[in-house]
Amino acid sequence: MEKVVLGLSGGVDSAVSAALLKERGFEVFGVFLDIGLGGSADASAVAGMLGIGFEVLGISEELEERVCMPFSRAYLNGRTPNPCIMCNPKVKFPALIAYADKIGAKYVATGHYAKAETDSATGRALLLKNPSPNDQSYMLCMLPQHILMRTVFPLGDMEKSAVRERASGLGIPVAQKPDSMEICFIPDKNYAAYIEKRFDAPPEGNFVDPEGVILGRHKGIHNYTVGQRRGLGVACGQRLFVSAIRPEKNEVVLTPDGDGTSEIYVKDINWIAFEPDKTFKASVKVRHSRVEYGAAVEPASGNARVFFDRPVRRPAPGQTAVFYIGDMVVGGGEIE
């Protein structure tokens, strides 16, 4: 019987994934990745109910070094990283792979809504969208080939309602447990307070327009992200949004709503489907949403310049751009 190590969070998605893997004939070992906040009880209950192996692995030190600290420093430098995209290739999946190697398991699995396949022509691992609105391929775009080759996504073609229905039918105790929407290490969603506990809070400064004219006072650059419209507290007769953050001047630049960009630069790209040597057409996501934009992607030495078919709302530096051709993830990288 083939062994598989499953990231078992205690939520409905990973619980149903465990049941599906058992049905497919795998010997399943559930692993709860403990970030230092506890919370393994639901995962343990699911493992006991399904009769699968269960282990709690501490990953708090790796998370601090490779995700939490870089996340905080990026915010202080006016950038807006996505910590889940950082965590998957640097902490979460490596921890599962290491445990799989320890027990002699060939595969690892998670409850993500995505698909992993092998291209029969090239031998490369492919990352594909889940066809439902719950697709999470965006969050997995930085997984390297050696991890994708060993990864199974049991919910690849399922949608959320079907997963909950399956969980209820199986009597899984977390069938109606609400989805977790926050960053795991900032459960109250207060990024600014989290950063202030770790570093000296950046001082107040000026809101300015693109020419440097002062429009008001901000509460510290770590409270803002590019693209933000709400909570600015500046009244000037028109709707404004954050178009840039200048940490060297402690300024937050505000621009009238509707200003967009036709071009972005993306660095440190993880090419998945193929490594392009010429410009190609793609649909591009520039934030975690369902919206994709048509564009031409011009690769250059692991980076790329993206030319949109029409202007898009300016994305935040530090966020991730992901390139798709149909349902296939070509690659993704960090927006400059």
Q: Does domain 3-170 match CATH 3.10.180.10? A: no
Indicate if the pLDDT at residue 84 is higher than 70. yes
Average pLDDT over residues 304-326: 95
CA–CA separation, 127 and 125 (whole Å) = 7
Indicate if the pLDDT at residue 258 is higher than 70. no
> What is the per-residue pLDDT for 6?
98
pLDDT digits (tens, 9 = 90+) for 170-225: 898 887 888 876 789 888 888 889 999 888 889 999 999 999 999 999 999 999 99
Average pLDDT over residues 228-248: 88
End-to-end CA separation in angstroms for the chain: 46
CATH 2.30.30 domain residues, the chain: 202-256
- What percent of the chain is modeled with pLDDT above 70? 99
> What is the per-residue pLDDT for 166?
94
pLDDT digits (tens, 9 = 90+) for 119-149: 999 999 999 999 999 999 999 999 999 999 9
Coil, strand or helix: which one is 184? coil
Q: What are phi and psi of 254, to 5 degrees?
A: -110, 140
pLDDT confidence bin for 259, thresholds 50/70/90: low
- Burial (CB < 10 A; 0-12, 13-18, 19+), residue 330, is buried
User: Any idea what the Cα angle at residue 308 is, between residues 227 and 302, rounded to 5°?
Assistant: 90
Q: Considering the entire predicted model, what is its pTM?
A: 0.93
> What is the per-residue pLDDT for 156?
96
CA–CA separation, 303 and 335 (whole Å) = 10
The mean-pLDDT minimum among 208-217, 231-240, 270-279 falls in: 231-240
CATH code linked to domain 260-335: 2.40.30.10
Indicate if the pLDDT at residue 160 is higher than 80. yes
Average pLDDT over residues 142-167: 96
Residues catalogued as catalytic: 87, 184
CATH 3.40.50.620 domain residues, the chain: 3-170
> What is the per-residue pLDDT for 178?
85
Give me the sign of the Cα torsion angle 163, 168, 171, 176: positive
pLDDT confidence bin for 256, thresholds 50/70/90: confident
> What is the per-residue pLDDT for 235?
80
Structure tokens at 290: 């369902």
What CATH architecture is 202-256? Roll (2.30)
- The per-residue DSSP string of 208-225 comes to E-TT--EEEEES-GGG--
pLDDT digits (tens, 9 = 90+) for 38-57: 889 999 999 999 999 999 99
CATH 2.40.30.10 domain residues, the chain: 260-335
Coil, strand or helix: which one is 19? helix
